[in-house]
Amino acid sequence: MARPATEELRRRNRSALLDQLHRHGPQTRAELTEALGLNRSTIGALAADLSQSGHIRETTGRSTGSAGRPSTLVECVAEAAQVAAVEIRSGLARLSVVGLGGAVLERAEAPLEADIEPLEAAATVAHLLDGAGVADAVAAVPGLVEGPIVAYSSELGWADRDFGTDLLKATGRHWRMVDTATAAAVGEWSRGDAGGSANLLYLHGGRGLTAGVIVDGRPRCGSSIALGHLVVAPEGAECRCGLRGCLEVEMGASRFAEAVETTTVAAWMGDSVARQTVRRSGECLGRALGAVVTATNPDEILFGGWLRELYLASAATVRSSLAATTLPQLRARLRLRTPALGAEGPLIGAAETGFEALIDDMR
Ligand SMILES: [Zn+2]
């Protein structure tokens, strides 16, 4: 039976208030009243309700003005809802347990063997999680991810693998799955400095290259982009995916994943071979980006993973190659830059994916 309209409205407001505190941190009732456009008595009733359920508490906080008394702040109770976020990458699994409000309550990591089997990776995740009681769990995997399926990951060497079920069997709980680049994009939008971006493209450099798009803060449906397998040289070398001349082969992704700093520092120091490598990779990347920009029309591109160092060392080359392969109208307002959250982006974004679902479910 449908809920009465007043109950619907109360649930929606409750969820909006919790979302506001989770995203923006502790606030006074007056600030909440203004931010949510609700009246003071409604905010008071919602705050009482959420205090009762243990999601928020009121504390004595910052003082207002020079002679002002400290104001009462409303804040999330981190322990009230926790999300496990896991990032799987070549050689390493990382876990963060994040509390409501965004505080990291626990971190753990464990090495993974090169070319690890999915079942072993899932067992490692179970070991890291160690039975922690969390309300939601999200795993970020580099590659093309469709629901629980890792359709293709050149970094891990997995294809058409139901890793969601592997995780379920190993840990006894349901996992949401997201590709690493989309997770990082969500992280930058919600906790980094890309919140003003309407159409954000995040490029992630690992042993493979992936990209994710988020539109108005939400992952675009089927947002994973197999950036590494964009063919940039049809007569080029064979890729492990079976195609020829894929971007990640032409750029030497696995070499950069190992030693991007060695190469970029040598290029800065004037080493001619390193400069040539950096320039050629920057040209390849810029050309490939031309196709991606033409197809997705982003307003911002972030270069994450080892692409960050490569971009910093070859920004002018990337920009001129991009300019040669896109319409000026598509790049007039396009910003290219590096991510604010650095290597933490995928874990932060994976956790935010879980919180978004949890807070949505309260509606
Ligand atoms: Zn390929």
Ligand 1 mean position to 230 CA, how many Å? Answer: 7
pLDDT range class, residue 221, cuts 50, 70, 90: low
Q: What is the pLDDT of residue 55?
A: 95
pTM of the predicted model as reported, rounded to 2 decimal places:
0.93
Whole-angstrom distance, CA of residue 265 vs CA of residue 309? 9
Q: Is residue 136 situated within a structural domain?
A: yes
Max mean pLDDT range (207-216, 254-263, 300-309) = 300-309
C-alpha 144 to ligand 1 mean position (Å): 12
170 and 288 part of one domain: no
Q: Assess whether 201 and 335 both reside in one domain.
A: yes
- pLDDT on residue 336: 97
**The pLDDT of residue 68:** 63
Measure the CA–CA gap between 316 and 320, rounded to whole angstroms.
Answer: 6
How close is the Cα of 228 to the center of ligand 1, in Å?
Answer: 6
Distance between Cα 64 and ligand 1 center (Å): 58
| Assigned domain for 131 exists | yes
The pLDDT assigned to 70 comes to 73
pLDDT at residue 229, as a whole number: 95
Q: How many whole angstroms from 256 Cα to the centroid of ligand 1? A: 16
Do 61 and 102 fall into the same domain? no
Which of 31, 53, 76 is where one domain is finished? 76
Boundary (domain end) residue, out of 50, 76, 102: 76
243 Cα: distance to centroid of ligand 1 (angstroms): 5
Local structure of residue 41 (DSSP, 8 states): H
Q: Using the predicted structure, report yes or no on whether residue 30 has a pLDDT greater than 60.
A: yes
| Residues 143, 110 within the same domain | yes
Q: Which of 76, 108, 131 is the last residue of a domain?
A: 76
- pLDDT of 291-309, one tens digit each? 999 999 999 999 999 999 9
User: Is position 69 within any domain?
Assistant: yes
For residue 45, tell me if it sits in a domain: yes
Asked whether residue 176 falls in the same domain as residue 213, the answer is no
Over residues 268-287, mean pLDDT: 94
Q: Is residue 149 part of a domain?
A: yes
Q: How much distance in Å is there from the Cα of 213 to the middle of ligand 1?
A: 20
Question: Would 92 be classed as within a structural domain?
Answer: yes
Same domain, 90 and 106: yes
Instruction: Report the chain's mean pLDDT, rounded to a whole number.
Output: 92
Check pLDDT > 90 for residue 105.
yes
Question: C-alpha 300: how far from its chain's center?
Answer: 15
Looking at the structure, tell me whether residues 138 and 246 fall in a common domain.
Answer: no
Domain count, the chain: 3
What tens digit of pLDDT does each residue of 138-152 get? 999 999 999 999 999
Quickly state the pLDDT bin for 4 (edges 50, 70, 90).
confident
Cα–Cα dist 178/59, whole Å = 36
Q: What b-and-e string marks burial along 276-304, b requiring 16 or more CB atoms within 10 Å of the CB?
A: ebbbebbbbbbbbbbbbbeebbbebbbbb
Q: Are residues 348 and 321 part of one domain?
A: no
More confident residue, 221 or 35: 35
pLDDT on residue 72: 85
In a domain, 189, yes or no: no
At 71 the pLDDT is 79
Supply the CATH number for residue 46's domain: 1.10.10.10
Q: What is the pLDDT of residue 64?
A: 55
pLDDT band at 224 (very low <50, low <70, confident <90, very high): confident
CATH for 113: 3.30.420.40
Check pLDDT > 80 for residue 226. Answer: yes
Cβ count within 10 A of residue 48: 12
Distance 245 CA to ligand 1 centre (A): 7
Of 74, 50, 54, 52, whose CA–CA distance to 62 is shortest? 74
Range of the domain at 21: 4-76
* 85 and 175 part of one domain: yes
Percent of the chain past pLDDT 70, that is, above it, reads 96
pLDDT score of 233 more than 70: yes
pLDDT of residue 218: 82
What angle, 0 to 180 degrees and rounded to 10, lies between the N-to-C axes of helices 272-296 and 307-323?
70
pLDDT score recorded for residue 362: 79
pLDDT of 157 over the 80 cut: yes
226 and 312 part of one domain: yes
**Same structural domain for residues 22 and 146?**
no
| Pair (93, 177) in one structural domain | yes
In a domain, 167, yes or no: yes
CA distance 328 to 330: 5
**336 vs 73: CA distance, rounded Å:** 37
